Amino acid sequence: MDILTAKKVREMDERERERNLISLREELMMLYSMQTGGGLSDNPAKAKLLRKQIARILTVMKEGE
């Protein structure tokens, strides 16, 4: 997984940001469903990283409004 910095997010166009946002949200939901199902995560800090990346994209999108 590539870490998205604010600079990288700002360089993306609007459609690419939307695609990344949807992808990250789906990945986060899959991770949560695996955890609630009793499965062990190979990287327990991954949920925090995903939430931060989602917040970063949303912040840059709000800046553009």
* Residues 7-50 pLDDT 10s: 999 999 999 999 999 999 999 999 888 888 777 767 778 889 99
The CATH number of 6-63 is: 1.10.287.310
Per-domain boundaries in the chain: 6-63
- Cβ burial of 27 (10 Å; 0-12, 13-18, 19+) is middle
* Nearest C-alpha neighbor of 47 from the set 34, 28, 30, 64: 28
* pLDDT value, residue 37: 78
